[in-house]
């Protein structure tokens, strides 16, 4: 995968434009190359759009709300067109994780029929999306157009065509955006434990992932520390992702009881999934308390100090 971080010697405008274009190339390659497995290509495309949305949040104060909202909506809607491909797969994985976690307490082969039905459901959903050439064509067109806009981001402040539109080459261009993501993540964490609904944990998970990708971009300023924070956020995001998958599986089985014919088996699965959610929430609480230990202004000031010490430049 292309470097998803700043490089010493680049201006911020140049580095962020490079990173953006690389992510669009990653998103488009699999969709336009017939030799690449399209299921995997869709998964890579969705991950690339999440990285790009994290980058947009990073520079939101510099590019303005109007541009941010428009470009964020494009990326969000593009990923939504093929969300069914991934959503079906995670349900199969969620059942397997329950069986892996509690298998020693369960009868052999339990939930096997459910897994088979979910796998069949996933294949039908995936084929419906992946074989729809018109949807894929529209998706590719949208991504190519977006790539062209990002490639036109100005990088030379001396160019009279752009002037002040160039992203400033200093921490002030990205610091407020990062601090806002951190602050939002901290607030979402508190809300998730005050009102532990699947929606609130999912909202927190999204902020964790955005902050993780921002720290990946920022990591060269101090790889051991900022890169370590990115890794901690990735681990936290994985735990919250598992929690979300269990919540979605509970909803799916409750709404489609025919997926599990035996009501006792269905109730057992739901009970175990709830138990697993509680375990994951407890683990996330400890991890989150460490990651979000600082006040947002303290976090921002610390990153600014790292930036100032970096050879890339001081602000």
Mean per-residue pLDDT, 278-298:
97
Tell me if 183 sits within 8 A of 172, measured CB to CB: no
Q: Count each helix (H run) and each strand (E run) in the chain, helices first.
A: 11, 0
217, two tokens: 């971009």
Cα Rg, the chain, nearest whole Å: 21
User: Is 32 in the same domain as 92?
Assistant: yes
How many domains are contained in the chain?
2
Tell whether the model's pLDDT for residue 238 goes beyond 60. yes
Q: pLDDT per residue over 73-107, tens digit each?
A: 999 999 998 887 777 788 899 999 999 999 888 88
Local structure of 108: helix, strand or coil: coil
151, two tokens: 């490639």
Position 158 scores a pLDDT of: 66
Lowest mean pLDDT, pick from 110-124, 190-204, 293-307:
110-124
Lowest mean pLDDT, pick from 44-58, 114-128, 180-194, 210-224:
114-128
How far, in Å, CA of 23 to CA of 44, rounded? 10
User: Is 106 in the same domain as 192?
Assistant: no
Position 162 scores a pLDDT of: 45
How far, in Å, CA of 153 to CA of 178, rounded? 20
Boundary residue ending a domain (135, 162, 189): 162
Q: pLDDT per residue over 174-228, tens digit each?
A: 999 999 999 999 999 999 999 999 999 999 999 999 999 999 999 999 999 999 9
**1 within some domain:** no
**55 within some domain:** yes
Boundary residue ending a domain (131, 162, 193): 162
User: Is 227 in the same domain as 301?
Assistant: yes
User: Is 51 in the same domain as 132?
Assistant: yes
User: Is 158 in the same domain as 192?
Assistant: no
How far, in Å, CA of 201 to CA of 205, rounded? 6
- State which residues form the domain around 147: 10-162
Tell whether the model's pLDDT for residue 161 goes beyond 60. no
Q: pLDDT per residue over 129-157, tens digit each?
A: 778 889 889 999 999 999 999 998 888 76
User: Is 252 in the same domain as 227?
Assistant: yes
**231 within some domain:** yes
């Amino acid at each position: 995968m292309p470097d998803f971080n700043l490089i010493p010697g680049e201006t911020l405008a140049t580095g962020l434009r490079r990173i953006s274009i690389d992510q669009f190339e990653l998103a488009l390659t699999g969709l336009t190359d017939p030799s690449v497995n399209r299921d995997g290509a869709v998964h890579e495309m969705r991950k690339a759009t999440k990285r790009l949305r994290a980058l947009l949040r990073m520079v939101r104060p510099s590019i303005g709300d109007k541009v941010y909202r428009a470009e964020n909506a494009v990326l969000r809607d593009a990923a939504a067109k093929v969300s069914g491909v991934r959503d079906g797969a995670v349900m199969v994985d969620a059942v397997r994780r329950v069986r892996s976690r509690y298998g020693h307490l369960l009868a052999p082969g339990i939930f096997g029929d459910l897994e088979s039905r979910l796998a069949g459901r996933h294949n039908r959903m995936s084929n419906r999306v992946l074989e729809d050439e018109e949807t894929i064509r529209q998706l590719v067109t949208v991504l190519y157009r977006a790539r062209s806009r990002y490639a036109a981001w100005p990088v030379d402040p001396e160019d009279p065509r752009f002037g002040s539109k160039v992203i400033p080459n200093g921490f002030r261009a990205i610091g407020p955006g990062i601090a806002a993501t951190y602050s939002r993540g901290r607030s979402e964490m508190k809300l998730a434990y005050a009102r532990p609904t699947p929606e609130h944990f999912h909202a927190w998970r999204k902020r964790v992932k955005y902050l993780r990708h921002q720290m990946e971009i920022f990591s060269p300023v101090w790889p051991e520390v900022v890169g370590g924070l990115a890794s901690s956020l990735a681990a936290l995001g994985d735990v919250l992702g598992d929690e979300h998958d269990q919540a979605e599986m509970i909803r799916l089985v409750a709404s489609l009881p025919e997926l599990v014919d035996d009501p006792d088996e269905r109730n057992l699965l739901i009970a175990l999934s709830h138990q697993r959610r509680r375990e994951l929430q407890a683990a996330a609480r400890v991890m989150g308390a460490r990651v979000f230990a600082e006040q947002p202004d303290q976090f921002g000031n610390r990153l600014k100090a790292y930036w100032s010490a970096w050879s890339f430049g001081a602000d």
